[in-house]
Amino acid sequence: MLELRHLRTLAALHETGSVSRAAKRVHLTQSALSHQIKSLQSHYGLSVIQRRGQSIELTDAGKHLVSLAEKVLQEIQATERDLAKVSQQASGSLRIALECHTCFDWLMPLMDEFRLHWPDVELDLVSGFHSDPVKLLEEGGADVVIGSEHKRQRDIIHHPLFRFEILAVLAPEDPLRTKRILHAADFADTTLITYPVPEDRIDLILNVLKPAGIHPQRRTAELTVAILQLVASRRGVAALPSWGIKNYVDHDYVIARRIGSNGLWSDLYASTLKETASRPYLRDFLTTARNTCFATLDGIVPLE
C-alpha cells in the first residue's frame, strides 16, 4: 500500500537524480530506498525508475508519482502550518545569523516566502560578524545560525542543510586558466579576494593553503558581486560556492576551477537550540530551505 514514505522518496529521487543521494536526502541508506522502490514497483506492477548508466531516470509512471508527491507534500506542509495556528504555536521569533555570506543569494527569497506563511513570526537577519555564532544562540542573540559548524554540543542541534563545492574563481584571461585543477601552490603569487572575515573562517585558507604553508595576499569585499568584479578585473582570485557563481561562469564573466583533485567541499548546517528545534515554524523554515535549495541550487549534495 502506498505510503507517504514512498512519495517522499520519489520526490528525493527527482530532486537528486540518484538513489544514493536521495537516500541521504531522506536520511536513509541506499539499500532502504532500493527496497522501497522495488516494493512500490511490484505493488503497481510497473517500473518507476530506470538505470541510466551511473545514475537513474524516472519513467512515465515515476513522473506521475513525483508530481503527486510534490502536490501532496506541499498540501501537508500547508496543513501543518494551519495546525500550528490552531494550537497557537504560530508566533515567536526567528532571527537568523549568517556565517556564509554567499547564502544571502538563496536566503532572501526564502525569507520572503516565509513571511507570507508565518505573518506572526518576527523574522530578522542578525547582521555583523560574530566570533562564536553558537554562543549567539545561547545568549539569545539569534535563533538560527547558518554556517558550517557542526561539532556536537549540549543543547544545540545542527540541522544539516547541504554540501557544496567551493571553486576557485579566475578572470577568463588568468594564466591559471590552462589548469583543470588548482592546487595550493598555484595560489602562492596571487591576491585572494574574500569576504571581510578572519582567516580561520575561510575554508580555502584553513584547509588548503595554511596546511601547505602558503599565505597569499588578501583583499576583502562585502558583496559577492564586488568580489566577482574584482576577480574579473584581474585584481586577484576568489573561492566561492559553485552555485553562487554559476550565472557569472555561464556568461563567461569569470571562470571556475576545482581546488584539489577531490575538490574543496563545505557543509552547511542550520544550528538552533534544542528547544527551538521543535517549533513548527522552525521546522517549516528548514524544510522549505532544503526544498528551495535543492530545487534551485546546482551541484549541491545531501548531507549526513
Partner DNA sequence: CATATTTATGAATTTAATTCATTGGTTTTT
Partner DNA sequence: AAAAACCAATGAATTAAATTCATAAATATG
Q: What is the x/- site pattern for a copy of itself, positions 68-97, by CB under 8 A?
A: x--xx--xx--xx-xx--xx-x--------
Contact region for DNA (CB under 7 A) — 32-40, 77-85, 153-161, 273-281?
32-40
Report if residue 5 touches a copy of itself, rule: CB under 8 A: yes
Out of a copy of itself, DNA, none, which partner does residue 129 contact, by CB within 5 to 8 A per kind?
none
Closest approach, Cβ 48 to DNA, in A, equals 9
Please, where are the H alpha helices in the chain? Answer: 4-16, 19-25, 30-44, 60-86, 104-117, 133-138, 203, 224-232, 242-250, 274-277, 280-296
- Count of residues touching a copy of itself (by CB under 8 A): 25
The binder of DNA chosen from 7, 10, 12, 37 (CB under 7 A): 37
How far apart are alpha carbons 141 and 124 in whole angstroms? Answer: 11
The binder of DNA chosen from 55, 220, 278, 296 (CB under 7 A): 55
Asked if 25 contacts 294 with a C-beta cutoff of 8 angstroms, the reply is yes
The binder of DNA chosen from 32, 73, 264, 273 (CB under 7 A): 32
Backbone angles phi, psi at 207, to 5 degrees: -100, -15
Q: Which is nearer to DNA, 32 or 125 (CB)?
A: 32
The binder of DNA chosen from 4, 10, 15, 19 (CB under 7 A): 19
Q: Which is nearer to a copy of itself, 76 or 223 (CB)?
A: 76
Cell numbers representing residue 262 in the block: 577531490
Q: What is the DSSP string of 145-174?
A: EEES-----TTEEEEEEEEEEEEEEE-TT-
Please, where are the H alpha helices in 220-264? Answer: 224-232, 242-250
Q: Which helix (H) or strand (E) holds 194?
A: strand 191-194
Out of DNA, a copy of itself, none, which partner does residue 36 contact, by CB within 5 to 8 A per kind?
DNA
Report if residue 177 touches a copy of itself, rule: CB under 8 A: no
Dihedral angle at the C-alpha atoms of 192, 197, 201, 206, nearest 10 degrees?
Answer: 30
How far apart are alpha carbons 163 and 159 in whole angstroms? Answer: 12
Cell numbers representing residue 206 in the block: 584553513
Contact region for DNA (CB under 7 A) — 28-36, 88-96, 118-126, 135-143?
28-36
Per CB under 8 A, residues contacting a copy of itself are 1-5, 44-46, 60-61, 64-65, 67-68, 71-72, 75-76, 79-80, 82-83, 86-87, 89
Per CB under 7 A, residues contacting DNA are 3, 5, 18-21, 27-32, 34-39, 49, 51, 53-56, 261
